[in-house]
Structure 1
């Protein structure tokens, strides 16, 4: 019998089934498998199939979508219970810049975006910090699949928590001004250019607007509050306006508000430039305009460095800022001309009608009440002449505003100036429209004369402002469009030869000659109140054309002393309050005269004036009149020297030669 004691065993090993314990003693824990004979080592039960590809996770970026989803769910649930460790980890992960060393790959971050989308209902006000991390994350330059997932996350979030709408819209609109760099991407993202980045912003905004019509109600005030400041660069203004105009294309419910916003900001820049130019000499102003010629919009650079500005004195700095403002205005005008032109050239009658109505509304509410607007109104001037129908509509709108008794007098005066300036300067305004408007103005002038003359004691601008505004409108229009008022047997405008060698008086349209005669020689005496530059030129032209002879009246008017009326109901400033304009701050005799303000003066902005080529009626004197005028001027100069009164006569001779009508001190 073989003794169990003699059986060879490894030290410390107890055979199973012999009465020993299966539990390993503490003294055995130091033993190594190498101490056992290979025959006595227990065979492993787990084997590996060589056909199976075993993949070991190298880092955290290889987490599965299921694992990330579970991680997000637990983090949100624990955050609800007060444990913020996992919650803060996810929030910090979203806040990392793609270029930082510990930033996750876009493929992993996309799984978190998908997981957060699935748990969007849990992202309530208690998760505000995480939501803002989502909104502020660097998403715009990543790959297309990630951007689509992120866009869907935003929509899922807003659909259950609309309180975050303003924050999301602010993030998108801020990119209209400050677009993130295309370099803010991960190594697994393809390269992208800035144009595509901007398109992604609009795609995201358009997607959100399409999902809910209510989103647009949040967007309008954000577009207004984010608009660049007047002191911001030209590039910032052009970029922002270009973007919000694009918004108006895919969000038609905001189109009117967007266009009005741009117009309002543009008018303010325009007016500020006119105020700043008040103290400049003419040659300095001309140089500013010449220096305003710049590169294409995409090449518009930011302002010069601060270091170069530090070396300037105060005057140089002021001129530099003014030059930048002119460039800014010019660039914005060019952008708006381009935007509106694409609509008017499309041929879609509904879009054209809607857009033109918007322009007319902006004219009545923004441009007309702004006395010193100098260039903005040329949008109306140009697009009103794109068709006869639009020409009549703009002329009709100005007429309505000029004769609307419910409006303050100063607005009616301005509307009359716009009407006269439009039909006088508009090259595409037909002769028929000129005659119709001239008839309309004459009719209202005669009606006002009949109403005012019985109680009139002397010429008074403040009491009869609308009457004098219409009078000046007629004088100005006559100076530019007198050819359209002459009647000929064949209804053809007379040639220069016919004008020079005519041996009989001309026949004038309707009874305009008689109406103007009655008014000019009435007690209201409009030639005393209207701007001297316009009165002088009208007198010369009317005399040469044998229309009216008013020189004796002009001599008489020199001896009339104007005094300030007490105003009251119906006065010039009725309904205006203390609003200060160039009409109210003049001193001396000028305070009692009507301004030579005609808003469609020659357009001088160097870049955008290309849109107005062919729109103007250029000044053209009467054949043979210039020589006669020079002879008369020589005689007057001789008399002035003898009488030693050159100052008075010299003021009346400033406009000898070419007459540009409104191109006076008020048209800077």
Structure 2
């Protein structure tokens, strides 16, 4: 991928983007554009060639900032795309970022909320980044699925095997990440005979039928779309479980574990969406839109009207306003991506 041409550094950009309507959003947009431009200039020489040593140095500095400030910040908005952007310069940076997140997830000494955040970043990064090849996605899926199978096996002998978010929050987050990634990239994962056999070896049916019932804790639209895709390819059969879950109340919690009656897993996928106009020219060309068939959740599945619901456009009965799209989003995206879960505090209508 020619990053230089994608980013518009040949001074032939589409047109000057208009300022954001929201004052704080416009300020953030200007600052991010400056940082993106600085990142590119530091990491490339005058000929547009990658300066690897300078790139590694800047990446490490950004990763320290990410670890100390961005990852611990709940529902961080747009700033995390600095890592999304710099990793597009070299595959080794993609692998390094994923390795950092995976170690954070596996570390039992890390607080559960940060382990869940790491899972959300892994899922969103693998789903949205165009510069991540499908072989890397398969490797990460193998790791997460193996982790989930091991957790299920160990939970059989544990004292607490009921589906309680406060005890199994990381497990449920990993399962939702698996379902989300497969849903998002199923065309590539299942596009070849070898890829189909690989997905069969994941043994997804064991995960969805586990006593911990991960589908019950998933966001409804992810669970329903995953069920539709896996049923079509006969990888897993989830419909009976979904129907049974629909008739059962979710457990509630007051310990800050993120459980509620209608939204058991926090709807935070950090690379959804990018709504800023100026800085969007650096991100949108690297950003994958969901292009599959989306199975809409019904009102019976979720009565929540929280701000974390899907942005919808042209969906019957929708009461949500579609966020204003930047000219770059319109230029690179033929239709509004309905699979957006990222929160954008204060910037919903900008």
- 2:167 corresponds in structure 1 to 463
What does the per-residue CA deviation read over 1:598-637, in whole Å, with 9 as the maximum and x for residues that have no partner? Answer: 1000211011100013211211115xxx7xx69xx9xxxx
- 2:83 corresponds in structure 1 to 380
Which one of 47, 53, 77 corresponds to residue 350 of structure 1? 53
Paired with 1:466 and 1:294, the residues of 2 have a C-alpha distance of: 40
Alignment of 1:46-125 (within 5 A): none
Paired with 2:201 and 2:342, the residues of 1 have a C-alpha distance of: 31
- 1:660 corresponds in structure 2 to 338
Which one of 585, 594, 615 corresponds to residue 286 of structure 2? 615
Say which SS state the counterpart of residue 384 (structure 1) adopts. helix
Q: Check the 8 A contact 2:105/2:119 in 1, yes or no.
A: yes
Does structure 1 residue 521 correspond to structure 2 residue 193?
Answer: no
Structure 1 unmatched runs, 5+: 1-291, 296-319, 494-505, 574-582, 634-645
Does structure 1 residue 535 correspond to structure 2 residue 223?
Answer: yes
Paired with 1:533 and 1:550, the residues of 2 have a C-alpha distance of: 13
Q: Check the 8 A contact 2:134/2:188 in 1, yes or no.
A: yes
Shift of residue 412, structure 1, vs aligned partner: 0.3
Paired with 1:549 and 1:510, the residues of 2 have a C-alpha distance of: 13
Q: Check the 8 A contact 1:596/1:661 in 2, yes or no.
A: no
- 1:393 corresponds in structure 2 to 96
Alignment of 1:316-327 (within 5 A): 323-327=22-26
What does the per-residue CA deviation read over 1:280-304, in whole Å, with 9 as the maximum and x for residues that have no partner? Answer: xxxxxxxxxxxx9339xxxxxxxxx
Does structure 1 residue 484 correspond to structure 2 residue 188?
Answer: yes
Instruction: Decide whether aligned partners of structure 1 residues 553 and 659 sit closer, same or farther in structure 2, where only a CA change above 3 A counts.
Output: farther
- 2:149 corresponds in structure 1 to 446
Shift of residue 356, structure 1, vs aligned partner: 0.6
Q: Check the 8 A contact 2:42/2:54 in 1, yes or no.
A: yes
Which one of 529, 545, 550 corresponds to residue 238 of structure 2? 550
Shift of residue 510, structure 1, vs aligned partner: 6.3
Alignment of 1:268-347 (within 5 A): 293-294=18-19, 323-346=22-45, 347=50
What does the per-residue CA deviation read over 1:202-249, in whole Å, with 9 as the maximum and x for residues that have no partner? Answer: xxxxxxxxxxxxxxxxxxxxxxxxxxxxxxxxxxxxxxxxxxxxxxxx
Which one of 64, 77, 80 corresponds to residue 361 of structure 1? 64
Q: Check the 8 A contact 1:453/1:522 in 2, yes or no.
A: no
Paired with 1:389 and 1:557, the residues of 2 have a C-alpha distance of: 42
Paired with 2:126 and 2:114, the residues of 1 have a C-alpha distance of: 19
Paired with 1:442 and 1:660, the residues of 2 have a C-alpha distance of: 26
Paired with 1:662 and 1:462, the residues of 2 have a C-alpha distance of: 26
Say which SS state the counterpart of residue 130 (structure 2) adopts. coil
What does the per-residue CA deviation read over 1:440-459, in whole Å, with 9 as the maximum and x for residues that have no partner? Answer: 11111111111223334421
Following TM superposition, the consecutive aligned residue runs of length 4 or more in structure 1 with deviations greater than 6 angstroms are 652-659, 664-667
Alignment of 1:162-181 (within 5 A): none
Say which SS state the counterpart of residue 594 (structure 1) adopts. coil
Does structure 1 residue 590 correspond to structure 2 residue 262?
Answer: yes
Q: Check the 8 A contact 1:334/1:608 in 2, yes or no.
A: yes
Alpha-carbon RMSD: 3.0
Paired with 1:517 and 1:418, the residues of 2 have a C-alpha distance of: 25
Shift of residue 460, structure 1, vs aligned partner: 1.1
Shift of residue 561, structure 1, vs aligned partner: 2.7
- 2:122 corresponds in structure 1 to 419
TM-score by length of 1: 0.42
Instruction: Decide whether aligned partners of structure 1 residues 548 and 462 sit closer, same or farther in structure 2, where only a CA change above 3 A counts.
Output: same
TM-score by length of 2: 0.77
Shift of residue 541, structure 1, vs aligned partner: 1.9
Q: Check the 8 A contact 1:475/1:534 in 2, yes or no.
A: yes
Paired with 1:536 and 1:563, the residues of 2 have a C-alpha distance of: 20
Q: Check the 8 A contact 2:36/2:282 in 1, yes or no.
A: yes
Paired with 2:19 and 2:217, the residues of 1 have a C-alpha distance of: 42
Alignment of 1:646-657 (within 5 A): 647-648=299-300
Paired with 2:341 and 2:265, the residues of 1 have a C-alpha distance of: 15
Does structure 1 residue 599 correspond to structure 2 residue 270?
Answer: yes
Structure number with bigger Rg: 1
Bigger relative contact order (CA 8 A; separation at least 6): 2
Say which SS state the counterpart of residue 561 (structure 1) adopts. coil
Q: Check the 8 A contact 2:127/2:184 in 1, yes or no.
A: yes
Instruction: Decide whether aligned partners of structure 1 residues 664 and 386 sit closer, same or farther in structure 2, where only a CA change above 3 A counts.
Output: closer
- 2:321 corresponds in structure 1 to none
Instruction: Decide whether aligned partners of structure 1 residues 566 and 339 sit closer, same or farther in structure 2, where only a CA change above 3 A counts.
Output: closer
